[in-house]
Amino acid sequence: MNSALNPLLDFSGLPRFEAILPEHVTPAISTLLDENRAIVKRLEAPMQKVTWENFVEPLDDATEKLGRAWGIVGHLNAVVDTPELRATYNENLPKITEFWTELGQNLALFEKYKALKAGSDYAALNPARKKIIENALRDFRLGGAELPEDRKTRFAEIQEQQAALSTKFSENVLDATNHYALFVENEADLSGLPDDVKQAARAAAEKDGKPGYKFTLHFPSYFPVLQYAEKRELRETIYRANVAKASELGEKPEWDNTQNIGEILKLRDEEAKLLGFRNFAEVSLVPKMAETPEQVISFLEDLAQRARTFAENDLAELRVFAKKELGLDKLEAWDVTYASEKLRQQRYAFSEQEVKQYFPEPKVIEGLFRVIQTLFSVELKPDSAPAWHKDVKFYRIERNGRLVGQFYLDLYARNGKRGGAWMDDARGRRLTKSGVQTPVAYLTCNFTEPAVVDGKARPALFTHDEVITLFHETGHGLHHMLTEVDELGVSGISGVEWDAVELPSRFMENFCWEWDVLQNMTSHVDTGAPLPRELFDKMIAAKNFQSGLQMLRQVEFALFDMHLHFDHDPYGPKTARDILNDVRHRVAVMIPPEFNRFENSFGHIFAGGYAAGYYSYKWAEVLSADAYGAFEEAGAIGGNILSIDTGRKFQREILGAGGARTALESFKAFRGREPTIDALLRHSGMAS
């Protein structure tokens, strides 16, 4: 089937989203798999001399097309899930997994990479190509290339089963989220909720042809209920629904992820043992900065110890306030967010809702773009491309009039769209015979869509947390798009150690706390006035409000993940829940109720590539806080945090270098030294 008939086979430009249908998937994937297998067969044959040009390039050309086509299918499955698309995705997933597993175990290809490394031309290769060859040799070993044939077969089965289980895990969370609806008929029961939240709930009920107000388990819908609803029973109802989703306590038994978790952990353990490792955590860390599970656990426990006193004080203070000011003798899990918001309002005399009025979407986007343009000497302009939904916007990045990269921006929550926020690559940068192929990214969030009030459309309003999320995902996007590396395997985010991937994203978050930045990206939705300095000062004073509790929560998740894959026996009597409870009793100061099933929707580690890697958020935060320190130092001297010279250096040494060298080498090239934890503790209000 040619590209004129099947848009998934057209690689001449951007994806033709308007033309792609579920029935295109199977024929396109079959065609590409056949082509790839034919090229692999040709490359397996004996060669007089193995070179980059006669071996790596044709392999890259073939696998890139397959990766791009399947990437489009996976993306659509995440943002516009339909029964037809889900069915064809699940039908083709085992075929894709089987191919990549076969490729990773191909001894003939492995031997050719070894020949490249040992060849006379290796010394003359550029650093990026050398790094790709080293990564390939490592990945062949991790892919089971050195296993005997009978074990290779079992290894391949494990990969397929894991892929299917992870997809099912994700689908269960999505289905449980999409299915839940809480209808409230009496407006008096919504006392305390902001008007825009009620308007969105009213619109959601109207869309269903129902009276009253509809609340769902999509974050912009349920979280304001926990944060503002004065009716305690309402908070408890939605809290219970949210923490029990995709579990045996949820709405439908077929969406329970408990068994999937157990199966995934057994398969990962078996994979590790087949490869000669003691546990899956050791496998996970081979391509990362951290060297051993013990080192990660030590890092996390050190953070927990530093945060504990702050967290205990946060909780004690909240309990006293809740009892004295709110009449809550016992602070329950569904009271915590509500009481915290009330305490913050009392102490700092502002609310999240008040701040939100100053962050209309157009002004936020304009401010974000201004930061990027100033720091990295680029221009961001609206662009046009077919998209998968009417709300998706498309932009281009130029430098000196030359196209550098492009990205799709999909901001709003909706049914059929996976929760959370993420960046994914649609296409990587590489040098081809016809010139440089520029990178393209997807930036996806789940914010509240614009509302229509009294017949008038209002822009979407973002909380400050949502602004931070937008900057975070854009940081990932910049890492992908501002690369200067021409080799696909290490350009942009490709080949970057997983625990360093969060460096640019966490780094970008810091600008959301700078007056020079915020005053230019705020405009009150009704008056047009910028954020008042007085309100900004209150936000800064409140920045580290409950930072001890927040730090411990992240450490709790990361330790749970690491212990689950390091010293937990998946065949033993203890379940994942038992491990989570053990960790909580060791590090948490606030233990959730017994019915909390957080682990059943922890997609990061069971469906999102963060297995034995969730610690990366904190690990990379050490790097990002320290990197941001360079901008603080430049600002202290020059008076402007948006230092153009420091921005150019960051772009050159961190973003531009991609995965062509180790993350530590890139960090040291930027900072001139090894990273330290000092800046993170200072930014978190925990410096001694």
Query: 558 with 619: CB under 8 angstroms?
Result: no
Per-residue buried b or exposed e for 430-440, using 16+ beta carbons within 10 Å of the residue's own CB? beeeeeebbbb
Angle value at C-alpha 15, between 14 and 20, nearest 5 degrees: 155
Query: 423 with 480: CB under 8 angstroms?
Result: yes
d(CA 650, CA 669): 9
d(CA 504, CA 485): 17
Query: 201 with 221: CB under 8 angstroms?
Result: yes
Q: What are phi and psi of 338, to 5 degrees?
A: -65, -50
| Known catalytic residue at 473 | yes
d(CA 511, CA 500): 19
Please enumerate in sequence order all residues whose Cβ is within 8 A of that of 276, keeping only pairs 6 or more positions apart, or say none. none
Record the tokens describing residue 118, joined without a space: 């040992």
CA dist 141 → 22, 122, 144, 150, 512 (Å): 36, 20, 5, 16, 42
Parallel, antiparallel, or unpaired: how do β-strands 402-412 and 440-447 relate? parallel
Spot the catalytic one: 352, 473, 599, 653: 473
Pick left, alpha or beta for residue 425 (phi over 0 → left; psi -120 to 50 → alpha; otherwise beta): beta
d(CA 384, CA 365): 17
Residue type, 502: E
Q: What single-letter DSSP state applies at residue 20?
A: -
Residues in the chain: 688
d(CA 457, CA 442): 26
Residues known to be catalytic: 473
